[in-house]
Structure 1
Amino acid sequence: MKPYRVLLYYFYTPLENPEQFRDEHHLLCLQLNLLGRIIVAPEGLNGTVSGLAADCEAYMRIVASDPRFAGIDFKVEEHDTHAFQKLHVRLKEEIVNSDLPVDPRRETGKHLEPAEFRQMLDDEDVVLVDMRSNYEHAVGRFKGAVTFDMENLRELPEHIHEIEHLKNKKVITYCTGGIKCEKASAYLLQQGFKDVYQLHGGIIKYGQEEGGQDFEGKCYVFDNRIAVDVNKVNPKVISTCFRCGTETARMINCASPSCNNHVAMCEECGWEHQGTCADACKADPHLRAYDGTGYYSKKTEGYTPLQGYISRKSLALK
């Protein structure tokens, strides 16, 4: 068993004083030596964190014991080390950027547990719709799923016309951990889709509980792993190297910080081209040193996990 855990979670619940909660939650993560990205908003909590197994167990126990988060679902994966270099607990207007005029606490698609989802895959009347960004589904997606060429969920209204003809089908939305589908499925219902479902817990939970059958490629994740294996039943590589076109499941961020393009790239091209997606990117004066992973953490001089909390409190007192 590996010593570290990576937790992926979200929960929609009203927070009356999100700024106070953000500060308290940041301190909790510091006490438990957790690193990662957490978003706090008036509508709830969304995060991905990593830490030692015991610290993650304590975190899950504390969060779940708060009546506001009763029923929260943690997706837990084992890892050799921390999956993040820093800790950020940010206050935003939404826990997932969407600008969609919906409230998933009032209306959303029917939740399908992974086993129910797998059983529905053979239904000819079912259509899978991927609610993730283009670079995410480029490296992995469910077989036969509808995908959109969108950068983020805010663009979903611009693509609804592409699936208008499916309004009378059983539409199942899916994403990495389930959070985008809460709002996306609600929006589809608003737009007149009759029978809308969502994969509860997303791709990650489906892989853990049902072996990831029919998910082709890898699942893009927002930590230093970049992409992870999901399918243990009938895996297949669907992505090709952005540079040479050979089949590869490796995903990198371009080493040029002004580009930071998310692309598939084979190991040979990664080293040959210094982790860049185009020759022009090599000329970037701020080119980051490629270490074979293609993951780059933002540099902050003298950073410590406590620094973000102290800096924010200092600014608030000015």
Structure 2
Amino acid sequence: MKPYRVLLYYCYTTIENPEQFRDEHHQLCIRLNLLGRIIVAPEGLNGTVSGSPADCEEYMRIVKADPRFDSLEFKVDESDEHAFQKLNVRLKNEIVNSDLPVDPLVRTGIHLEPEDFKKLKDEEDVVLIDMRSNYEHSVGKFKGAITFDMENLRELPQHMEEIKHLKKKKVITYCTGGIKCEKASAYLIDQGFENVYQLHGGIIKYGLEAGGEDFDGKCYVFDNRVAVEVNQVNPVVIATCYRCGSPTDRMINCASPACNNHVTLCENCGDEHQGTCRNECKADPNLRPYDGTGYYAKETRGYSPLLGYRSQQASMSH
């Protein structure tokens, strides 16, 4: 049993006073010593936080006690340390950036629990579609899944031409924790796709509850861990080193702050090239020291969650 927990969650629900809720939620996280990233919007709540088992249990209890989050599900993973350096609770217009003209509270694809997804995914008339960004699926994806060369979900409409011939198939969308699929599956329905499903809880829940079978590679995550193991049944490595082409699933950020590319880099190339993706990056005068992880947290000097809260208050008052 590892000493920390990582909670991944989202919930589409109406939050009538999101600014007040954001402030109260930030204070709750400070009280429970949680670190992470949380987005509050009029349409709901989305977050990943880490903390001690006891603090995470109390956080889940308090959130679930609010009737607005009755349907919220926590994906709970273990970690050797805090998965974040800071606490950010931000107010935004959407809980995941999409700009798609859909409302998940009105209509989405049919939610498949992990075991149901496992049974359905290999049927002949089923197509899996990855709704994540290119750097995410480059390090791991489901066997045979369709992927798009896109930076974020806003670009989904530009890729409809690539899949328009699949409108009569059973289409299952998937993403890291399920949140992108709420809007992506709704958008596919609006575009005339007839049988749309989505993997409920995403890749993470599938790994935790169903063993992760047929997920090739690792799952990219937006915290210090960078990428995590999912498949406990038939794991394979699908990514190759950005520099030498050898098989690797080590995902890093380039050590050059001016570049900061998400790339896969094997241990040998990481050591030899100081964690950079190209020779030009090595010449960056601000090159960050490479510690073997390829993860570079933002400067935390003088930071405390309470100071972060106060600075937000100050910016909101201007």
TM surpasses 0.5 = yes
CA distance in 1 between counterparts of 2:248 and 2:110 reads 35
Aligned AA for 1:189? I
Alignment of 1:77-156 (within 5 A): 77-156=77-156
Residue 256 (str. 1) matches residue 259 (str. 2) = no
Aligned AA for 2:174? Y
Aligned AA for 1:138? S
1:284 deviation in Å? Answer: 2.0
CA distance in 1 between counterparts of 2:307 and 2:223 reads 20
Q: Percent identity?
A: 75
SS in 1 for 2:216: strand
Aligned AA for 1:258? A
1:282 deviation in Å? Answer: 1.6
Report the counterpart of residue 69 of structure 2 in structure 1. Answer: 69
CA distance in 1 between counterparts of 2:232 and 2:14 reads 38
CA distance in 1 between counterparts of 2:255 and 2:149 reads 23
SS in 2 for 1:159: helix
User: What TM-score, normalized by structure 1, do the two folds share?
Assistant: 0.98
Report the counterpart of residue 167 of structure 2 in structure 1. Answer: 167
Say whether the 8 Å CA contact 2:218–2:228 is kept in structure 1: yes
Q: Give CA-to-partner distance per residue, 1:137-192, whole Å, 9 cap, x none.
A: 00000000000000000000000110000000000000000000000000000000
1:271 deviation in Å? Answer: 1.4
1:120 deviation in Å? Answer: 0.3
CA distance in 1 between counterparts of 2:316 and 2:212 reads 46
CA distance in 1 between counterparts of 2:311 and 2:57 reads 28
CA distance in 2 between counterparts of 1:235 and 1:317 reads 51
CA distance in 1 between counterparts of 2:286 and 2:38 reads 28
CA distance in 2 between counterparts of 1:250 and 1:56 reads 28
SS in 2 for 1:306: helix
CA distance in 2 between counterparts of 1:259 and 1:212 reads 33
Q: Please tell me the root mean square deviation across aligned C-alpha atoms, in Å.
A: 0.9
CA distance in 1 between counterparts of 2:39 and 2:281 reads 31
Alignment of 1:211-290 (within 5 A): 211-290=211-290
SS in 2 for 1:19: helix
CA distance in 1 between counterparts of 2:317 and 2:107 reads 40
Report the counterpart of residue 292 of structure 2 in structure 1. Answer: 292
Aligned AA for 2:72? I
Report the counterpart of residue 28 of structure 1 in structure 2. Answer: 28
Q: How many residues align?
A: 318
CA distance in 2 between counterparts of 1:41 and 1:122 reads 37
Aligned AA for 1:68? R
1:122 deviation in Å? Answer: 2.2
Q: Unmatched 5+ residue regions in structure 2?
A: none
Report the counterpart of residue 59 of structure 1 in structure 2. Answer: 59
Report the counterpart of residue 207 of structure 1 in structure 2. Answer: 207
1:316 deviation in Å? Answer: 3.4
Report the counterpart of residue 190 of structure 1 in structure 2. Answer: 190
User: What TM-score, normalized by structure 2, do the two folds share?
Assistant: 0.98
Say whether the 8 Å CA contact 2:85–2:300 is kept in structure 1: no
Aligned AA for 1:297? A
Aligned AA for 2:217? G
SS in 1 for 2:46: strand
SS in 1 for 2:128: strand
1:285 deviation in Å? Answer: 2.5
Say whether the 8 Å CA contact 2:254–2:260 is kept in structure 1: yes
Aligned AA for 2:90? R
Say whether the 8 Å CA contact 2:257–2:286 is kept in structure 1: yes
Moved more, 264-273 or 185-194: 264-273
Aligned AA for 1:113? E
Q: Give CA-to-partner distance per residue, 1:87-121, whole Å, 9 cap, x none.
A: 11111110000000000000100000001000002
Q: Give CA-to-partner distance per residue, 1:211-250, whole Å, 9 cap, x none.
A: 0000000000000100000000110000010011101111
Aligned AA for 2:304? T
